[in-house]
Every structure is written in structure tokens, then in C-alpha cells.
Amino acid sequence: MATINDNYLKLKAGYLFPEIARRVTAFAEANPEAQIIKLGIGDVTEPLPDACRAAMIQAVEDMGDRATFKGYGPEQGYAWLREKIAAHDFQSRGCDVDAAEIFVSDGSKCDTGNILDIFGHNNTIAVTDPVYPVYVDTNVMAGHTGSASDQGEFEGLIYLPITADNHFTAQIPAQKADLIYLCFPNNPTGATATKAHLQEWVDYARENGSIIFFDAAYEAFITDPDLPHSIYEIEGARECAIEFRSFSKNAGFTGTRCAFTVVPRSLTAKAADGSEVDLWKLWNRRQSTKFNGVSYIVQKGAEAVYSEEGQAQTKALVNFYLENAKIIREKLTAAGIQVYGGVNAPYVWVQTPNQLSSWDFFDKLLHTCNVVGTPGSGFGAAGEGYFRISAFNSRDNVEEAMRRITENVSV
């Protein structure tokens, strides 16, 4: 009989969101009249920018004409998109990133998982706690961990706690980590990193020969002019960092699918024979072999993000969600609840009132306010006592949810 990849059996059976769904369904069945508002899963709600839609409609027409029809495109993405990305997202901020270092893909979720294909199996891996679960689970699947403890921590990973005490920015570890996952602005905590903090990580990585995986999916939500948008704003990052970006959250592409990964030409890591190998070449080979590119239509939609109208429309979209986040922050703060994040990020990280556990607060909000959020403990043991509220929703839903919480939750 064929055998399986046993590492999959170590996974915590996708506990968090199924468990939320189970509790919400049970409540809805028992209370069919309840108007439940979901501020849980981090998906966008507002329609695509007009500029992106118009570009994709035109691209569909191109596909209908023999003269402009496109078959397979370059696995790395069309040059016209990669050049716009390099110019607008990096060179305009003083980052030395070339179009050839941009790899267009169908998502950052896949890229942050797939990147492990080009790394060895004996690397020491560091993640924050709480963390975006994809980083952990893809390492479990690849066999880079032992089994999970009762608290859900996998043997063999370095967990770096992020709490209010360290402003949700991990302390640089004393031990050596070969691969480090950083996400700023952060999902789930909504925290951001200063240039000084990222410089510490880059210095650490260069001293230890580590590679930083920098997930900047929420970069567009940064409004503070002093905060870095890209790790390549940091001196030395071209020698130690891979950056992941996505059109999911800035342009509402969660269902349209387009993202990109930056692999600088200057990045190297060690082969078994001790030689230093270019990571760009390996990632290029990986993508060319296992991936056939993003559809022409979708890349045209992504390109439109960089047009004048596209820039104005995506900015308005991001500002809409940021205003939701502001409303959430202000209403909860006024109700005496301690909140973090939600300023340069679409997530508000709530300290559960009255020392409730994350799941107890989840149940309380569901039962007394009919509002759904995400228990912080679902993102890691250090998320216990916290709760994530997403700003991705309609204004009406956000205002109604906050009205219910301020009227029904006593602190």
C-alpha cells in the first residue's frame, strides 16, 4: 500500500476556524433570530477597485482576439507588472530592488509555504507567538518539527513571545535561528516594526547567516511616515531577507489572487558541500518547474493598482478599513477595554476584560452581543488573554457590533 507524509498527522487538525464555526453554528441554531456579525476571519468585504475591474475586462477582450491572445506567460510574471512593482513599491522608497528580483504569484500564503522547497531540512526555525498559522503548519508538513505539545507548540521550533510587555515585537533570540518569520504590520496583533527594530533583526541575520522571511501583506495600511514599508529600507537586508507582498489586502484581491515575492540576487545560503548557492536561482528554478504563472487577466488587474486611478482607489479602500479600525479602537477604549494595534493595520488586538480566557471572551461576545471575533490563543499560547477583531467589514456592521459591545460588556 502507498504510504503518506506522516508529518501531516502532527498537525493540529486546523483547530481554530473550524472550532469558531462550530460554536457559531450551534449558537445560530439555538437562536435563529440572532443577527450575528462576523469580525473574525481576515477577509476583505468591499468590491474591487474600478481601475482593476476595467483592466481585467479589457484583458478578457484581449484574450478574445487572435492578435492579442495570450497563452502561457513567463513563470515569473509579465515584465510590465514586475517593472511597475519594482518602481512603485521599492525604488520610490529608496530600496534597491530590480524587476528581475520580483516573482509574481497567485498568493503570499502559497509563497510563504512554497519557499521552504529551496531550503534544507536541518535549519533552526524561529516564529513569533502568536503567529500566522501558515508559517508553522508548512514547517510541520515539511517535517521540520517534532510533535505538538498540549498547548499546540511544536517541538523543534523557536517560539518568540510577543505580548504587551515587548510592544508585540519579539526580542532577538540568544540562540541562533537559520530561518526567521517576521510579519509587519502584524497579523494577528496589528503591531508594526520601527526601522531600528528591523535593523536589529537584519544585523542578527547577517551575523548568523540567517534568512528572514518578511511578510508585508499589510504594508499598505502603514500611515505613519516613519515606519518602514519594506525590509529593503533596512541597511543590509539584501544580504539576508526575502519579502512577501500581496494584492489581497490593499486591492481586495483575496478572491482574485495575485501576490509577489522578492528574492534579491545577492542572497545566498549553504549547500551540503559547504559552497554558497544563489537563492534567486533556486527560487527561479522552483517556480519555473512547479508554477506556470498568474493569468494574464489577473496580472492586468494587478497592474492597474499602479495607475493613477488605481492608486487613489486602493488608498480609499485601505482608508475605509483603517477608519473601521479607528472606530473599533475608540469604542472599545471608551468602554474601558484595553486595545492594541488597529492604527497602521486592519486588526485590533484586544486584551480580554476581567482576565477572561480568549475562548471565554469569544463565548461572551457571541452570546451577549452576537459578535464573532477570533480568540488570540488560537494563534499561539502567548495569544491567551487576547482577542482579534478585524476591521474588514461594512461600516454598518462595525458600528452595530461596537454599539452592542459597549452596551453589553461591562469591565
Q: Say whether the peptide bond before residue 130 is cis (omega within 30 degrees of 0).
A: yes
Residue range at the interface with ligand PLP (CB under 6 A); choices 101-109, 138-146, 271-279, 353-361:
101-109
Helices 395-408 & 308-334 angle (0-180, nearest 10): 10
Q: Which residue has the cell 534579491?
A: 264
Distance CA(180)–CA(159), nearest Å, equals 10
Residue among 217, 317, 343, 366 that touches ligand PLP (CB under 6 A): 217
CA pseudo-torsion sign 296, 52, 192, 83: positive
Instruction: Report in angstroms how near the CB of residue 184 gets to ligand PLP at its nearest.
Output: 10
How far apart CA 111 and CA 356 sit, in angstroms, is: 36
Q: Rank residues 71 and 255 by Cβ distance to ligand PLP and give the closer one.
A: 255
Compute the distance between CA of residue 214 and CA of residue 352 in angstroms, rounded to an integer. 29
Which lies closer to ligand PLP via its Cβ, residue 20 or residue 369?
A: 20
Residue 109 as a binder of ligand PLP (CB under 6 A): the answer is yes
Residue, CB closest to ligand PLP: 107
Contact call for residue 243 and ligand PLP (CB under 6 A): no
Q: Which 288-327 positions form the footprint of ligand PLP (CB under 6 A)?
A: none
Single residue of 82, 84, 144, 249 touching ligand PLP by CB under 6 A: 249
**Residue 399: count of CB within 10 angstroms of its CB:** 15
Q: From the list 234, 259, 372, 391, which residue makes contact with ligand PLP (rule: CB under 6 A)?
A: 259
- Of the pair 75, 215, the CB lying nearest ligand PLP is at 215
Which CB, 249 or 300, lies closer to ligand PLP?
Answer: 249
Site string for ligand PLP, 129-148 (x = CB under 6 A): ---x----------------
Cβ 130 to ligand PLP, closest distance in Å?
11
Q: Is residue 42 within the footprint of ligand PLP (CB under 6 A)? A: yes
Binding residue for ligand PLP, selected from 123, 124, 194, 254, defined by CB under 6 A: 254
- Exposure on the CB side of residue 37, measured as CA atoms within 13 A: 22
Nearer to ligand PLP by C-beta: 113 or 143? Answer: 113
Interface residue list for ligand PLP (CB under 6 A): 42, 107-109, 132, 183, 187, 215, 217, 246, 248-249, 254, 259
